[in-house]
Amino acid sequence: MSCAAPRRIPEGFEPVPTRGPFYDANGPVWRKQVAAGAQPIYGLMPELCHTNSLGFVHGGMIATFLDGAMAQSVYDRFQCRLVTLGLRISYRHVVPIGRWTEATITLEDAVGDRIIASADMRCRGSVCATAQAEFQLFPTH
């Protein structure tokens, strides 16, 4: 990981399993299981390496965080390889360095080998970004 070890991670959050070199270089990302059958909550503690020239979390980092959280949720449900086919993000508020952020994920029902996921990212009690993505599944059976 290229960032320093995060501080002040809320209780119950654990590092997300590795999703490859790019994701690892942009982490760490955290998750917390909330209830059986429910989607976990994903967390990010923004570090200096996540920021743009204004000192806020870079939009590309927000996209990476949300795409990765949605992809991990899809993987956890289907246990198969997948790729992102499309990603749409709306940025609503800046995210400052050192402010814990959380993302909640909603998965629709799969249609064939495709599934739609959506995410809400919150920081300081406000929705900072929303995203929707379409994923293609590569089942092994």
Residue 133 structural domain: 14-138
Rounding to the nearest 10 degrees, give the CA dihedral for residues 123, 77, 24, 94: -20
> Number of structural domains, the chain?
1
Whether the predicted pLDDT of 35 surpasses 90: no
Could you tell me which residue, 25 or 91, shows the higher pLDDT?
Answer: 91
Per the domain annotation, does 7 fall within a domain?
no
Residue 6 pLDDT class (50, 70, 90 cuts): very low
Is residue 8 in some structural domain?
A: no
Residue 3 maps to a domain:
no
4 lies in a domain?
no
CATH code for the domain in which residue 40 is found: 3.10.129.10
Structure letter (DSSP) for residue 9: P
Q: Which of 30, 23, 40, 31 is nearest to 5 (CA)?
A: 30
Which residue has better confidence, 47 or 6? Answer: 47
CA distance 102 to 123: 7
Q: What is the model's pLDDT at position 59?
A: 95
pLDDT one-digit tens code per residue, 78-122: 999 999 999 999 999 999 999 999 999 999 999 999 999 999 999
Token reading at 28: 């760490």
